[in-house]
A and B are shown apart, each in its own frame.
Chain A
Amino acid sequence: MSECIRNSDDLAKAASAGAARLYPAQLKIIVGAGSCGLSVGAGEIEKAAVEAVKELGVEATVIRTGCIGFCGREPLLDLVLPGGPRVSYGNMTVEKTRELLATYAENKGLKPELILGRFEKEEYILTGEVHEYGPAPDELKDVAEWSDLDFYRRQKKVIMRNCGSIDPLSIDESIARGTYQAVQKALGSMSADDVLAEVESSGLSGRGGASFPTGRKWRFAREAEGDIKYLVCNADEGAPGSYMDRSVLEGDPHAIIEGMILGSFAIGAAEGFIYVRSEYPLAISTLDKALADAEERGLLGDDIMGSGWSFRLSVRRGSGAYVCGEETALIESIEGHSGEPRGRPPFPVVAGLWQKPTVVNNVKTWASVAPIITRGSDWYKSMGTETSHGTTIFSLEGTVKNPGLVEVPYGISLGDMINEMGGGTLDDKPIKAIQAGGPSKGCISPDKMDMLIEASAAPGKLAMVGTGSIIVLDEETCVVDMTRFLLGFFNDESCGKCTPCREGTKQMLGLLTDICEGRGTDHTLAQLKRLSSAMKAASVCGLGSMAPDPVLTGLECFPQEFAEHVHDRKCSAGICEMGEV
Chain B
Amino acid sequence: MVDEKDMVGAVMVVGGGIAGMQAALDLSAGGFLVYLVEESPSIGGNMLRLDKTFPTGDCATCTISPKLVACMRDLNIELLTMAQVTALDGVAGNFKAKVRIAPRSVDASKCTGCGDCTEHCPVRNVVRDVPGYEPREVGGDERVKVDEILARHRDDPGGIMPILQDVSKSFGFLPRSVLEQVAAGREMPLAEVMRVASFYEEFRLHPEARHIVEVCDGTSCYSRHSKKLLKQLEEHLGIKAGETDEEGRFALRTIRCLGLCALSPVMRVDGVSFGRMTRDQVPQILERFE
List chain A positions with a Cβ less than 8 A from chain B. 35-36, 38-40, 71-72, 74, 237-243, 246, 278-281, 316-322, 333-340, 354, 395-399, 403-405, 435, 439, 469, 471, 473, 477, 482, 485-486, 489, 492-493, 495
Task: Assess whether A279 is in contact with B259, with CB atoms less than 8 Å apart.
Answer: yes
When C-beta atoms are compared, the residue in chain B nearest to A72 turns out to be B262
When C-beta atoms are compared, the residue in chain A nearest to B200 turns out to be A319
* CB proximity to A under 8 Å, residues B269-289: 271, 273-276
User: Within 8 Å CB of A278, what residues of B?
Assistant: 165, 202
13 contacts across the A-B interface (CB closer than 8 A)? A35-B259, A74-B262, A240-B220, A240-B256, A242-B257, A243-B261, A319-B200, A334-B161, A336-B159, A395-B262, A398-B223, A435-B223, A482-B222
User: Within 8 Å CB of A485, what residues of B?
Assistant: 219, 222
User: Within 8 Å CB of A71, what residues of B?
Assistant: 262-263
Residue B54 at the chain A interface, CB threshold 8 Å: no
Q: Ordered nearest first, which 3 A-B pairs have the shortest CB separation?
A: A336-B159, A71-B262, A320-B201
Cβ distance A59 to chain B, nearest Cβ, rounded Å: 32
Task: Assess whether A321 is in contact with B200, with CB atoms less than 8 Å apart.
Answer: yes
* CB proximity to A under 8 Å, residues B188-205: 195-196, 199-203
* CB proximity to A under 8 Å, residues B139-171: 157-162, 164-165
Residue B43 at the chain A interface, CB threshold 8 Å: no
If the complex has contacts A38-B273, A469-B220, are A316 and B255 also in contact, measured as CB distance less than 8 A? no
Bound form: Cα–Cα A338–B217 in Å: 23
Which of A74, A333, A492 is the one whose CB lies under 8 Å from B161? A333
Task: Assess whether A321 is in contact with B201, with CB atoms less than 8 Å apart.
Answer: yes
User: Within 8 Å CB of B264, what residues of A?
Assistant: 397
Task: Assess whether A493 is in contact with B256, with CB atoms less than 8 Å apart.
Answer: yes
User: Within 8 Å CB of A482, what residues of B?
Assistant: 222-223
Q: 6 extra interchain contacts, Cβ-Cβ under 8 A, other than A35-B260, A38-B273, A40-B276?
A: A36-B262, A40-B274, A240-B218, A333-B161, A395-B261, A482-B222
Bound form: Cα–Cα A242–B157 in Å: 30
Which of A35, A241, A316 is the one whose CB lies under 8 Å from B218? A241
Residue B212 at the chain A interface, CB threshold 8 Å: no
Task: Assess whether A39 is in contact with B257, with CB atoms less than 8 Å apart.
Answer: no
User: Within 8 Å CB of A492, what residues of B?
Assistant: 256
Task: Assess whether B158 is in contact with A240, with CB atoms less than 8 Å apart.
Answer: no
Task: Assess whether A335 is in contact with B261, with CB atoms less than 8 Å apart.
Answer: no
If the complex has contacts A338-B199, A338-B200, A485-B219, are A39 and B260 also in contact, measured as CB distance less than 8 A? yes
Task: Assess whether A404 is in contact with B262, with CB atoms less than 8 Å apart.
Answer: yes
When C-beta atoms are compared, the residue in chain A nearest to B268 turns out to be A39
Bound form: Cα–Cα A439–B217 in Å: 12
Cβ distance A326 to chain B, nearest Cβ, rounded Å: 14
Residue B209 at the chain A interface, CB threshold 8 Å: no
Task: Assess whether B202 is in contact with A320, with CB atoms less than 8 Å apart.
Answer: yes
Q: How many A-B Cβ pairs are below 8 Å?
A: 144
Bound form: Cα–Cα A319–B257 in Å: 14
Bound form: Cα–Cα A202–B148 in Å: 48
Cβ distance A273 to chain B, nearest Cβ, rounded Å: 9
Which of A237, A317, A395 is the one whose CB lies under 8 Å from B165? A317
Task: Assess whether B159 is in contact with A335, with CB atoms less than 8 Å apart.
Answer: yes
Task: Assess whether B257 is in contact with A239, with CB atoms less than 8 Å apart.
Answer: yes
User: Within 8 Å CB of B239, what residues of A?
Assistant: none
Cβ distance B214 to chain A, nearest Cβ, rounded Å: 9
Cβ distance B282 to chain A, nearest Cβ, rounded Å: 15
If the complex has contacts A39-B273, A319-B201, are A246 and B159 also in contact, measured as CB distance less than 8 A? no
Which of B161, B164, B201, B263 is the one whose CB lies under 8 Å from A39? B263
Task: Assess whether B196 is in contact with A336, with CB atoms less than 8 Å apart.
Answer: yes
User: Within 8 Å CB of B201, what residues of A?
Assistant: 319-321
Which of B199, B220, B273 is the one whose CB lies under 8 Å from A241? B220
Residue B266 at the chain A interface, CB threshold 8 Å: yes
If the complex has contacts A40-B263, A281-B271, A338-B195, are A319 and B220 also in contact, measured as CB distance less than 8 A? no
Per-position 1/0 for B178-189, Cβ under 8 A of A:
000000000000
Task: Assess whether A321 is in contact with B199, with CB atoms less than 8 Å apart.
Answer: yes
Task: Assess whether A241 is in contact with B161, with CB atoms less than 8 Å apart.
Answer: no
Residue B13 at the chain A interface, CB threshold 8 Å: no
Which of A246, A337, A396 is the one whose CB lies under 8 Å from B196? A337
Bound form: Cα–Cα A126–B161 in Å: 37
Bound form: Cα–Cα A477–B223 in Å: 7
Task: Assess whether B261 is in contact with A241, with CB atoms less than 8 Å apart.
Answer: yes
User: Within 8 Å CB of B237, what residues of A?
Assistant: none
Bound form: Cα–Cα A337–B199 in Å: 9
Per-position 1/0 for B108-144, Cβ under 8 A of A:
0000000000000000000000000000000000000
User: Within 8 Å CB of A396, what residues of B?
Assistant: 262
Bound form: Cα–Cα A237–B218 in Å: 12
Bound form: Cα–Cα A266–B186 in Å: 36
User: Within 8 Å CB of B11, what residues of A?
Assistant: none
User: Within 8 Å CB of A38, what residues of B?
Assistant: 273
Cβ distance B195 to chain A, nearest Cβ, rounded Å: 6
Name which of B159, B201, B222 has the most chain A CB atoms within 10 A of its CB.
B222
Name which of B165, B202, B217, B266 has the most chain A CB atoms within 10 A of its CB.
B202
Task: Assess whether A403 is in contact with B200, with CB atoms less than 8 Å apart.
Answer: no
Residue B10 at the chain A interface, CB threshold 8 Å: no
Which of A333, A439, A493, A495 is the one whose CB lies under 8 Å from B219? A439
Task: Assess whether A338 is in contact with B196, with CB atoms less than 8 Å apart.
Answer: yes
User: Within 8 Å CB of B241, what residues of A?
Assistant: none
Task: Assess whether A280 is in contact with B259, with CB atoms less than 8 Å apart.
Answer: yes
Cβ distance B180 to chain A, nearest Cβ, rounded Å: 18
Residue B224 at the chain A interface, CB threshold 8 Å: yes
Task: Assess whether A336 is in contact with B220, with CB atoms less than 8 Å apart.
Answer: no
Per-position 1/0 for B11-54, Cβ under 8 A of A:
00000000000000000000000000000000000000000000
Cβ distance A304 to chain B, nearest Cβ, rounded Å: 22
Cβ distance B152 to chain A, nearest Cβ, rounded Å: 14
User: Within 8 Å CB of A280, what residues of B?
Assistant: 259
Name which of A39, A278, A398 has the most chain B CB atoms within 10 A of its CB.
A39
Task: Assess whether B159 is in contact with A337, with CB atoms less than 8 Å apart.
Answer: yes
User: Within 8 Å CB of B195, what residues of A?
Assistant: 338
Cβ distance B41 to chain A, nearest Cβ, rounded Å: 23
Cβ distance B43 to chain A, nearest Cβ, rounded Å: 26
Per-position 1/0 for B215-255, Cβ under 8 A of A:
00111101110000000000000000000000000000001
User: Within 8 Å CB of A319, what residues of B?
Assistant: 161, 164-165, 200-203
When C-beta atoms are compared, the residue in chain A nearest to B168 turns out to be A319
If the complex has contacts A39-B274, A336-B160, A398-B223, are A241 and B200 also in contact, measured as CB distance less than 8 A? no
When C-beta atoms are compared, the residue in chain B nearest to A439 turns out to be B219
When C-beta atoms are compared, the residue in chain A nearest to B276 turns out to be A40
If the complex has contacts A241-B219, A338-B200, are A316 and B158 also in contact, measured as CB distance less than 8 A? yes
Task: Assess whether A339 is in contact with B158, with CB atoms less than 8 Å apart.
Answer: no
User: Within 8 Å CB of B164, what residues of A?
Assistant: 319
Residue B258 at the chain A interface, CB threshold 8 Å: yes
User: Within 8 Å CB of B162, what residues of A?
Assistant: 316-317, 336
Task: Assess whether A74 is in contact with B158, with CB atoms less than 8 Å apart.
Answer: no
Name which of A239, A471, A477 has the most chain B CB atoms within 10 A of its CB.
A471
